[in-house]
Amino acid sequence: MKRLLAVLCVFTLALCGVPGAQAAKTIKIAYTNIPEHPQGVAFAKFKERLEAQSNGRFKVDLIDSGKYGNPDSIVKGLQMGVLQIGAESTSNFSVFDQRLMLFDMPYLFPSYEAADLILDGDVGKELSKSLEKNGCINMGYMELGFRQLFSSKPVKSLEDAKGLKVRATPSKAHIAILRSLGMNPTPMAWGEVFTGLQQRTVDAIDVDINLGWFWRFYEVTKYMTLSRHFYTPHMVLVSKRFWSSLNAEDQKMISDIMTQCIKEQRQLSRQNEVEFLERMQKECGMTVLDLTEQERERWIRSSKDVPAEFKDMIPPALIEQVLATFRDAGLLK
């Protein structure tokens, strides 16, 4: 018996010394969207790849659909180290750095190519530092995309838009944009939007095509206007406390995998838009309206004074840096 116990003790001590026998480090990721959304797909890929490449040294738990809480809850979780990675829109994170309202400005981004230039360039890198003082490091930007108008009646002009009751977020910039276009912004919680559209409490919602598809807004609206009035990215933040606990090799592995997943997320989001636009028309009976070039210029002119309302929050020099980047790349007329 003593011999058997001695052998078991030796075996147990040896096992404890085997790296693969150590408990895996858990990375909890909280994000807003449902698993089927491009953001959810990207985080699922991150989980699969990191767990495989680390040979099980890391385990990833995904907390989807806003179950973790609001942006403030995410930042607090990251600060405390109980949450390792969290994603939310720049609009919602602007409560921590008002310069992030840059992305809420109307008709600032002419295309996805332009958005990539900013997100992956000097401006995006500078704004990435926004939440470092809050204990968060930005790993990059996923995207929601351009806002379009899902409505119960056709909107082809500013005249059609006048007085339209549109669900609005609490964002002052969002409300200002809708008002500048003659619409009636109506605050409403996200969970109430589908019923609100169904019961005609509101006439419309402005949202990106992916969210419009996954939340089935085509069931309670008949028309979509491709207004593209502003663009929304999502910041992917990692806890500084967690990050500093990793060695350089693990930091590089996690960063490289996330960078690739972010790139693929944007690609999938844009591919989806093409597919979903076609399916909403052919399968769901929606009418998709695009503004004429002349009409789009009217919408741009109508909202041109909105940035001046927020000059104390968004430095005019920052907006000029964005525009200069576009001019240098030949993306502005």
Query: What are the C-alpha distances in Å from 86 to residues 30, 99, 181, 236, 238?
Result: 5, 20, 33, 6, 7
Give residue 168's domain range. Answer: 2-326
Collapsing DSSP to helix, strand or coil, 53 comes out as helix
CB 268 within 8 A of CB 41: yes
Specify if 333 maps to a domain: no
Please choose, from the candidates 102, 89, 144, the residue with its C-alpha nearest in 3D space to the C-alpha of residue 266. 144
Specify if 195 maps to a domain: yes
Burial of 166 (0-12, 13-18, 19+ CB in 10 A): buried
Distance in Å from the first CA to the final CA of the chain: 87
Q: Side by side, which strands form the sheet with 231-239?
A: 58-63, 25-30, 85-89, 231-239, 136-146
Q: How many domains does the chain have?
A: 1
CA separation for the pair 87, 267 (Å, rounded): 18
Specify if 316 maps to a domain: yes
Angle at 104 between CA 98 and CA 106, to 5 degrees: 135
Specify if 122 maps to a domain: yes
Q: Which two tokens stand for residue 83?
A: 């949450």
CATH of residue 154's domain is 3.40.190.170
Burial of 259 (0-12, 13-18, 19+ CB in 10 A): middle
Specify if 186 maps to a domain: yes
Strand 25-30 with 287-290, pairing:
unpaired
CA separation for the pair 86, 79 (Å, rounded): 11
Would you state the pLDDT for residue 23? Answer: 85
CA separation for the pair 194, 220 (Å, rounded): 7
Specify if 113 maps to a domain: yes
Specify if 331 maps to a domain: no
CA separation for the pair 293, 270 (Å, rounded): 22
CA separation for the pair 295, 227 (Å, rounded): 10
CA separation for the pair 7, 185 (Å, rounded): 74
CB 226 within 8 A of CB 292: no
Collapsing DSSP to helix, strand or coil, 57 comes out as coil
Specify if 332 maps to a domain: no
CA separation for the pair 143, 211 (Å, rounded): 11
pTM above 0.85, yes or no: yes
Give 10-residue mean pLDDT values along the chain (333 residues): 45 44 88 96 98 97 95 94 96 94 97 98 95 96 98 98 95 96 95 96 97 97 97 97 97 98 98 98 97 97 97 96 97 87
